[in-house]
Amino acid sequence: MSSTPSFRKEKGPDPVRTRRRTFRRSRIATLAAFVAVVVGLAVLWPLGSKSSTTSTAVGVSSTTTKVTTPPAQVRPPGKQASLRRLVPYKTVGGAISPKSVVATNTGMVLAQNMMYRHSVTVYGSAGGLRKTVSDAVTLSQFGVTGHPGVSRGAPVEAAVTPDGNFAWISNYSMYGAGFGPEGSDECSPGSARAAGVTDSYVYRLNLATLTIDAVARAGMVPKYLAVSPNGKYLVVSNWCSWDAVIIDLTLNKVVARIPVGAYPRGIAISPDSQLAYVAIMGSSVLDIVNLTTFKVTGQISVGSNVRHVVMSPTDPRLLFVSLNASGVVEKVNRFTHAVIGRVHTGSGCRTLAISADGTALFVVNYDSNTMTMLRSSDLHILQTVQTGTHPVGVTYDGVTGRVWVAVYTGELMIYDTK
């Protein structure tokens, strides 16, 4: 059996502006002059849009094009994030035990409620519940054999596709025919297989219908997942498999399984979709996975017990990581592999989020019951606010500028930024 590195336990307690723009497709009237045998015709089509994403609106003639802002580029109006203050806005309760919370930047926020509730709860940006989505699926409807009847999952994390149309959800474990027991927080590929742990599945949630419309097999105890900016791949970290799987999103199938270190968790993908940075929580490194060769091509040394990693949306050099055991956030130059800043934020810092303009970071401190706002340029602490017991997830909503905190004991706390 492989030796198991020490780490801090992860599972925790039970419990569009949209500015509507249309391509101004003005046709400068066709100049026709017929002089004996000469015919002249000139047609100009100025397409004066700067948007990189266009789509023909349903029910509108094909000459009318609706222009939308890619979700990742959506920002709230007003001053930059680092010049704002966090102000309590709303606390959301109900039948939830959120392990994570993720804003789609299209006006929705998703909370993943693990096996305690077997659900994903979907909210509007103002905090109103839109739908509770059950994790129950009939896998045979998706062409999966060996698991007859209804299977259930345990939603851990979510990743939104670049077009904002779908979210992929990881499941800690699967429950139903043909599935083994839940994985352990402390495991190796050998020990997990010996205990009967089986591979879990990731689900695709259609954000228009709020239904699960695709699944893909991952590994043992999938945790974090990220979609490449070009929308081609989904990268999933598998806690007990000690690997990262690459899922081709044109096929919804695994095209590579890449061994990494013990307890892989957070993932950030470079803007050019070439490299994935995987936080190895049982160690002090980020593994660098090449998404062309499907190999680990290097490592970046950071502090021990690295849990989460985010990339600056405005500066392609910069990564930010959280070190769970020490309660430290670090700033990393991914080109030089140098740690260029660090700050202690609290006890057991876990998930990080970054504002859409890249100026502010937000980190939840699990054991301090706080959330810290940092200036990304120098990691200066701008503000620390109290949360409920065991804040575990955090997200920044580019539509409103609000920050949502997932409190594992059963709340979502929403903070406005003024």
**pLDDT tens by residue, 158-172:** 999 999 999 999 999
Compute the distance between CA of residue 338 and CA of residue 268 in angstroms, rounded to an integer. Answer: 17
Convert the pLDDT of each residue in 223-251 to its tens digit. 999 999 999 999 999 999 999 999 999 99
The CATH code of the domain that includes 410 is 2.130.10.10
Domain end residue (candidates: 12, 43, 68): 68
Considering its fold, how many domains does the chain have in total? Answer: 2
Query: Is pLDDT larger for residue 286 or for residue 23?
Result: 286
Strands (E), 20-142: 21-22, 33-35, 38-40, 53-56, 65-68, 86-92, 100-103, 108-112, 119-124, 129-134
**Within-domain flag for 8:** no
**What pLDDT does residue 6 have?**
54
With beta carbons less than 8 A apart as the criterion, state whether 200 and 213 touch. no
Q: Average pLDDT for residues 79-97, to the nearest whole number?
A: 98
CA–CA separation, 256 and 253 (whole Å): 9
User: How does residue 257 score in pLDDT terms, banded at 50, 70 and 90?
Assistant: very high
Q: Which residue, of 68, 99, 124, is where some domain finishes? A: 68
Size of the chain, expressed as the number of residues it contains: 418
Q: Which of 68, 101, 129 is the last residue of a domain?
A: 68
User: 60 and 76: one domain?
Assistant: no
pTM: 0.86
Same domain, 232 and 286: yes
- Binning pLDDT at 50, 70 and 90, where does residue 4 land? low
Whether 23 has a pLDDT exceeding 90, the answer reads no
- Among residues 76, 165, 157, 93, the alpha carbon closest in space to that of 128 is found at 93
- Do 34 and 169 share a domain, yes or no? no
Tell me: do 322 and 346 sit in the same domain.
Answer: yes
Within 10 angstroms of residue 293's Cβ, the number of other Cβ atoms is: 11
**Could you give the CA distance from residue 371 to residue 358 in angstroms, rounded to a whole number?**
18
% of the chain at pLDDT higher than 70: 84
User: Which value, to the nearest 10 degrees, does the dihedral of the CA atoms of residues 151, 166, 232, 254 take?
Assistant: 0
Examine the domain organization and report whether 230 and 274 are in the same domain.
Answer: yes
- The predicted model gives 259-272 an average pLDDT of 97
Are residues 186 and 61 part of one domain?
A: no
pLDDT reading at 39 higher than 80: no
Helix ranges (H only) for 122-279 are 189-194
In this prediction, residues 96-118 reach a mean pLDDT of 98
Both tokens of 6, joined, read 């020490």
Q: What is the pLDDT of residue 99?
A: 98
Domain that holds residue 35: 20-68
**Do 58 and 137 reside in the same domain of the chain?**
no
Whether 30 and 125 share a structural domain: no
The 10s digit of each residue's pLDDT in 272-327 is 999 999 999 999 999 999 999 999 999 999 999 999 999 999 999 999 999 999 99
DSSP state of 335: T
What is the rounded distance in angstroms from the CA atom of residue 319 to the CA atom of residue 335?
10
**Residues 277 and 340 occupy one common structural domain:** yes
